[in-house]
Amino acid sequence: MKTIKTKLDGALVFEPKTFADDRGFFMETWNYQRYKEAGLDVKFIQSNLSKSAQGVLRGLHFQNPNPQGKLVQILTGEVFDVAVDIRAGSKTFGQWHAEILTGDNHKQFYIPEGFAHGFCVLSETAIFSYMCTNLYDAEADTSIAWNDPKIDIDWPIKNPVLSDKDNNALTLDTINHNRLPQL
């Protein structure tokens, strides 16, 4: 397995070994010991699956308190996946990293606790799988505007399909800073 560190402390990209032949492929999507040796020593307690249509943008979401780290991957389709460091006091506060995740490249992206996460669907549909380090907490769930000019993500779509929650999300400058994770 190849591990790629990003400019954001703790945000990692994994390229698991895939064994393919004319019948299809096999890959190990999680092995605690192997990932621990690669730098990811976390316990996952919730697993989620979502399906989205082309042009859908979900995010930028985070929980505080009860933050969630997420190991994400695409089963089918293609997405532009983004992590944003929103930990108050971090040297990379407000910075982002993106990965193209596809059902064919098998990349996994780990978004640490204290980061906001979002993605947009580039293919006709995408099935998105992610394991979380904490349970979902609706009262702690918050969104930051996908098009926040301070973060300035270079999204590959201009007019995404958004939920009401994401359409009405606040920017980093206007969100109550007590809602943000602390370093």
Q: Is 130 a catalytic residue?
A: yes
Buried b vs exposed e over 33-70: b needs ≥16 C-beta within 10 Å? eebeebebebebeeeeeeebeeebbbbbbbbbeebbbb
Identified catalytic residue from 97, 106, 117, 130: 130
Identified catalytic residue from 61, 97, 106, 117: 61
Spatial separation of the C-alpha atoms in residues 169 and 146, rounded to whole Å = 8
Q: Is 32 a catalytic residue?
A: no
User: Is 56 in contact with 120 (CB distance < 8 Å)?
Assistant: yes
| Catalytic residue IDs | 61, 130
